Amino acid sequence: MKRLSDFLVRLGFPPLEGKLLIVALGLAGGHLLLVAFAAYQLKINVPTCLADDPKTLEPSVKQLDENTYQALYVAKMWQFEPSVLRIPTGASLEVFLTSSDVIHGFFVKGTNANLMAIPGTVGDTKITFDKPGTYPIICHEYCGSGHHNMVGSIEVIDGLEGFETEGLPSDVPDLAAAGGELAPEVAKGFEVATQFGCLACHSTNGTKLVGPSFAGIYHRDITTTSGESIKADEEYLKESILSPNEKIVEGFQPNMMPALPLNEEQVAYLLAYLKTLSSAQN
Ligand code: CUA
């Protein structure tokens, strides 16, 4: 320290300036060491580019060993895939996260996990769940009109064997379990509903979200904001899918839903799916 400041004086620095320079260099060096410590010891890294990463956009969950699970989450307007993940108490979860549209947030309440889902990149973190319970996953980056409904959850359950998921594309056939064989167009309709984020704003169990619930929507008698009474028949539903602002159901706000760029076929699939949702369904 003394030698270094003498050396700086000999170079022509005034003594005080030389000391300040040493402090400044020390701080800068300390910072670099902390960055290196974070990257190599704590393994906190900037997200990698998808192109550099062998993992694709396919959302999935797998069990790595007895107590470790790996989940590739895809965030999209306005849901997480998988939306629900159930794992046993004590499990460690490796999370990989990306987005298929805009920037989303990924905060797991009750843990330190807090990532951004950025299109084209993969972020990762690891969470260990020592206590059973439901840990909500919350999108904390404004991502459009369904942002406030963009939630998922991780359910940590005592004694669960393996894991369970909901909301993965591969979970779609499970829908059939509720009512026997699922017609192919209904399955496709469900795919359209998830792909375009319909279910973020329309529940299938009667719960009121941003838009009217899909439960029992087909042939439901509705009153519009202009006082008109109509039956939600095919024609009305089709119009509401393609031009959502035409007839708003009483109690709901206009301009919440974007006109969906669906082709004839996709609309037909969606209608086939909507017709299967009875009001008694949970
Ligand atoms: Cu996704 Cu806000």
For the chain, the three-class secondary structure string (H helix, E strand, C coil) is: CHHHHHHHHHCCCCHHHHHHHHHHHHHHHHHHHHHHHHHHCCCCCCCEEHHHCCCCCCCEEEEEECCEEEEEEEEECCEEECCEEEEECCCEEEEEEEECCCCEEEEECCCCCEEEECCCEEEEEEEECCCCEEEEEECCCCCCCCHHHCEEEEEEECCCCCCEEECCHHHHHHHHHHCCCCCHHHHHHHHHHHHCCHHHHCCCCCCCCCCCCCCCCCCCEEEECCCCEEECCHHHHHHHHHCCCCCCECCCCCCCCCCCCCCHHHHHHHHHHHHCCCCCCC
Mean pLDDT of 249-275: 87
- Check residues 46 and 5 and name the one with the higher pLDDT: 5
Mean of pLDDT values over 49-75: 80
Q: Fold for domain 172-281?
A: Cytochrome Bc1 Complex; Chain D, domain 2 (1.10.760)
Distance 93 CA to ligand 1 centre (A): 22
Q: How confident is the model at residue 181 (pLDDT cuts 50, 70, 90)?
A: low
Looking at residue 119, its pLDDT comes to 87
Ligand 1 atom nearest to CA at 148: 2
Q: Where along the chain do its domains lie? A: 2-40, 49-168, 172-281
pLDDT at residue 173, as a whole number: 46
What is the percentage of the chain residues whose pLDDT exceeds 70?
90
Give me ligand 1 centre to Cα 147, in Å. 4
CATH of domain 49-168: 2.60.40.420
Q: How confident is the model at residue 56 (pLDDT cuts 50, 70, 90)?
A: low
Atom of ligand 1 nearest to the CA of 140: 2
Mean pLDDT, the chain, as a whole number?
85
Range in 174-183, 238-247, 273-282 the model is least confident about = 174-183
Handedness of CA 267, 268, 269, 271 (dihedral sign): positive
Q: What is the pLDDT of residues 267-279, one digit of tens each?
A: 999 998 888 887 6
**104 C-alpha to ligand 1 centroid (Å):** 5
Our CA angle for 279, 210, 133, nearest 5°, is 80
Task: Name the band, by pLDDT with cuts 50, 70 and 90, for residue 96.
Answer: very high
Highest mean pLDDT among 12-21, 25-34, 179-188, 238-247: 25-34
Tell me which residue has its CA closest to atom 1 in ligand 1: 104
The residue behind tokens 């905060």 is 107
Ligand 1 atom nearest the C-alpha of 102 is 1
Residue 182 pLDDT > 80: no
Confidence of residue 72 (pLDDT cuts 50, 70, 90): very high
Q: What's the rounded Cα separation, in Å, for the pair 244 and 23? A: 63
Question: Residue range 143-148: average pLDDT?
Answer: 85
User: What mean pLDDT comes out for the span 48-73?
Assistant: 78
CA of 148 to the centre of ligand 1 (A): 7
CA of residue 58 to ligand 1 center, whole Å: 19
What's the average model confidence in pLDDT over 98-114? Answer: 92
List residues near ligand 1 (CB under 6 A): 75, 78, 104, 139, 141-143, 147, 150
Average pLDDT over residues 4-13: 85
pTM: 0.58
